[in-house]
Amino acid sequence: MASAKDALLEKIRAHRARIGIIGLGYVGLPLVLRFGDEGFPVIGFDVDASKVTKLNRGESYIRHIAADRVQALVNKKQFEATSDFERLSEADCIIICVPTPLTVKKDPDLQYIESTGDAIMKTLRAGQIISLESTTYPGTTDEILLEKFRPRGLEVGKDYFLVFSPEREDPGNPKFSTRTIPKVVGGTTPDCLEVGEALYSQVIDKIVTVSSTRAAELVKLLENIYRSVNIALVNELKLLAEKMNIDIWEVIAAASTKPFGFTAFQPGPGLGGHCIPIDPFYLSWKAKEYDFSTRFIHLAGEINSAMPHYIVERVGATLNEVSKSIRGARILILGVAYKKDVDDVRESPALEIMELLQERGAILCYSDPYIPRLHKVRAHDFSHMTSEPLTEETLNNQDLVLITTDHTNINYQWLVENSPKIVDTRNATKGVKIGMEKVVRA
């Protein structure tokens, strides 16, 4: 009789293994499509009933994921979505793609991993592999999931298999896809790693194995801390360059011509997205357990968190130049997505800026071609607001336009010509030839 490992490997390599993906958002849904495209049967799990309904109708709720790809899998009966977590027993391979936010005190909030682990534990059986992809601190896979699964009486690495493989999705990036982004995998045991590598190698071009789940967990944190620290550096230099009357974007462009030893990072109004503003705090929190202070992480966090306040100060100074104050000023926020050309507002610095401007009495509206309506995001509730059409009439009714996201489908020359005053936090107007006297780059 074949061992649980050999039987599962045979199913995986024959593409007969049923894939269960928990969390059908920006990470989970691309994985659904990738496994589905390779002929695997896929069950998607999500607590959001509206997502489940839309997916089972063949619809997509993420802009860069075409609905016809979802529809094709539904039509072939290769994919179905459900909110019934008892059906986890049907999956041979379970991939966890749930959020890992922060608490109000900036401590890790693992409630979604905890609840998902509880759901898996209830149906865990021999011959399954569980892969955690959610970004978290080193030790989560072993300290939380492995411990939750012990009461089932199954032996990890023999009866079932447990790995960590950090997600590396970059929504809206045309250069890389789920298939072409190398996949890091770490296993709880060597046999766990072998099964995890086999699973992901069916759908990803390159697999990078590491010695443990803890190493794999730290890989993801290093990637995002690297970005956080370097973004903080250029944000701080931007503040200094302004005082020195130097164009920081010109400096970065010139420095980028060096063919070695330099990687360009761009300043902005703050950090956005689910990763960079959050992930570093997972490591700094865990470091306390080892009586270690992550000073670079804390400093970068302070600098990046202060950027929205700096932007509001620049808005106030710009309005003062035309004898206006923020109180009562009509301000159009151009772009509320956390980065250009995506429909994602998670941790967007635009929301923090809007909150600060509103507290100071500004009359706000926003325009974003990818976000037709705002919804409540953590402490920011602008759910009463819908995107304004970007027309001459809209612009004429404003005292100032604040560019917080540099979407590429905006005609910035036209925007400058028809706006009274602009504060540009993204260097979006760099190609504008006429009317730059109206623009303040912040």
Look at residue 171 and tell me whether its pLDDT is greater than 90: no
Strand order from edge to edge, sheet including 19-22 = 79-82, 42-45, 19-22, 93-96, 129-132, 161-164, 183-187, 207-210
Give the residue among 304, 394, 308, 382 at the shortest CA–CA distance from 345. 382
Kindly state the average pLDDT of the residues 404-425.
96
Look at residue 338 and tell me whether its pLDDT is greater than 70: yes
Query: Is residue 365 flagged as an active site residue?
Result: no
* Dihedral angle over CA of 26, 31, 36, 37, nearest 10: 90
- 54-94 residue pLDDT tens: 999 999 998 889 999 999 999 999 999 999 999 999 999 99
C-alpha–C-alpha distance, residues 21 and 81, integer Å: 9
| Backbone Cα Rg of the chain | 24
Q: What is the pLDDT of residue 239?
A: 96
Give the residue among 241, 286, 271 at the shortest CA–CA distance from 347. 271
Annotated catalytic residue within 93, 97, 192, 275: 275
Q: What are phi and psi of 184, to 5 degrees?
A: -85, 135
Residue type, 404: T
Instruction: Identify the structural domains of the chain with CATH numbers, from first to last.
Output: 4-211 (3.40.50.720), 267-441 (3.40.50.720)
Look at residue 421 and tell me whether its pLDDT is greater than 90: yes
| H-state helical runs in 348-427 | 349-359, 392-396, 412-418
Contacts of 394 (CB under 8 A, 6+ apart): 332, 365, 367, 388
> Cβ(410)–Cβ(334) under 8 Å?
yes
Q: What is the pLDDT of residue 347?
A: 86
